[in-house]
Structure 1
Amino acid sequence: MHLVGSARRKTKHPAPLIAIVGSDGSGKSTVGLALLAWMQTQRPTAFCHLGKQTGNIGRAIARLPFVGASADRKIVSRSSKARDEKGAGALVSLIIFVLSMRRVFRFLRMRRLHRKGIAILTDRYPQAGIPGPMDGPGLVARNPSGFIARFLTRREQGLYDWMSEYVPDLVIRLNIDLETALLRKPDHRYESLQRKISDVPKLTFNGAPVLELDSTEPLETVLEKARIAISDVLKQYHEVL
């Protein structure tokens, strides 16, 4: 167990905010649901998924008979243009922006629950520093073509900047190797998993304390280390009551 930053920080939220991050296959949902059951014995807690879940849509399209694989390749190709020098056109930019808004709406719902004093445990967390599939902005071309694409690129970046300013009390980072992730998620794209696993260690979450965990360890070992770190956060909130 390795904690980057100090979990002994002045509380500034109405209730604890814990984020679980990691690539697909790292066990976020399994770890999250187990920690949720434990946290709910300590205080009212909600589990909020803050991803866009566009990968599920893509995999569903890819499984369609006859046209699925071709359609999936076209979607991946067009999406990648949003991150090149000139960016995507207006239509693709609009689609990517709308999908980002799914995350914004989930984030707003999480904030509403949090303001009521409910502790929050999240699966994923938006960040503005590393663009791409690890919960960062998707429209990041340096010179987007056209007024609409430029406007949407700036607007999306602004939304991610705003969301990332709401800093968690603790980030639990589940690290995993590519081979294990592929064994756990055989239906996921190799390149996508490789990119996510590469990006995960780079995420800083605006200086939030980060608990580094090896998700290839036994589940109970991972959970015990996470519970120790979360207990310290819960104690801080208990002290200010």
Structure 2
Amino acid sequence: MQGWLEGIADRLRDPSGEIPGVLAARYALRRSRKRRKQFDTLLAMRQRGIVVVTDRYPQIEVPGLHDGPIMAGAAPTEAIARLKRRERALYEDMAGWRPTLVIRLSVDVDTVMARKPDHPRPLIERKVATVPALMFSGAPIVDLDATMPYDQELALAIAAVDQALASA
């Protein structure tokens, strides 16, 4: 059953498609609740004054991608629409917590395909095209070119973090 549910993830994330049933919608909501629980753990650490660095942060601008709501497609029934609204509410609440700093990596489709040749090109094209839409509740964003030499990219990222922590 778990494998079947994992196999429909792409259909859940397709904004031009339809959410394929209540079971799939409940599965997506369960996964999102798990993400919420992990997020609450990070928030508790942050509220105790611990600096949290993560490579993921919830967003609501682009459902189906980039750590946003999983259910991006149309809800064919009212029961599925309710589940979709409940999932979106989880992400709206999480995304309401403004991060101190976002380091957004910009990369072209061909570079991603060279690094991840097993990923479907249309999905990568959609991800690359939608990254600039992510605003992270107005958090300061530093855009870095992910195709630059790694040592340069790392130095810029560290400098941005140092500056953000000094200002916090």
Q: TM-score, normalised by structure 2?
A: 0.87
Aligned-partner residue type, residue 82 of structure 2: F
Mapped pair 1:127 → 2:59: yes
Contact 1:127 1:164 in 2 (8 A): yes
Show structure 1 runs of 5+ residues with no match. Answer: 1-56, 62-70
Aligned-partner residue type, residue 107 of structure 1: F
Match of 2:12 among 58, 65, 79: 79
Contact 2:46 2:52 in 1 (8 A): yes
State the identity as a percent. 34
Aligned-partner residue type, residue 202 of structure 1: A
Match of 2:136 among 184, 205, 227: 205
User: In structure 2, what is the equivalent of residue 178 of structure 1?
Assistant: 109
Aligned-partner residue type, residue 214 of structure 1: D
Q: Computing the radius of gyration over CA atoms, which structure comes out larger, 1 or 2?
A: 1
Query: Which has the larger strand fraction?
Result: 1
- In structure 2, C-alpha distance between the alignment counterparts of 1:73 and 1:162, rounded to whole Å: 25
- In structure 2, C-alpha distance between the alignment counterparts of 1:93 and 1:72, rounded to whole Å: 10
Query: Which has the larger helix fraction?
Result: 2
Of 184-193 and 111-120, more deviation after overlay is shown by 184-193
- In structure 2, C-alpha distance between the alignment counterparts of 1:80 and 1:134, rounded to whole Å: 11
Q: Secondary structure at the match of 1:121?
A: coil
Show structure 2 runs of 5+ residues with no match. Answer: none
Q: Within 5 A, what are the aligned runs for 1:63-212?
A: 75=8, 78-80=11-13, 83-84=15-16, 87-141=19-73, 144-212=75-143
- In structure 1, C-alpha distance between the alignment counterparts of 2:164 and 2:33, rounded to whole Å: 30
Partner deviation per Cα, 1:122-179 (whole Å, 9 max, x = no partner): 112110122121122122445x233321211110111111001100111100111111
Q: Secondary structure at the match of 1:120?
A: coil
Aligned-partner residue type, residue 230 of structure 1: V
TM-align CA RMSD: 2.4
Partner deviation per Cα, 1:25-83 (whole Å, 9 max, x = no partner): xxxxxxxxxxxxxxxxxxxxxxxxxxxxxxxx9xxx7xxxxxxxxx79962564256x3
Moved over 4 A (4+): 71-74
Partner deviation per Cα, 1:86-135 (whole Å, 9 max, x = no partner): 53321111122222223212211111221221101111211012212112
Of 149-158 and 101-110, more deviation after overlay is shown by 101-110
- In structure 2, C-alpha distance between the alignment counterparts of 1:73 and 1:123, rounded to whole Å: 22
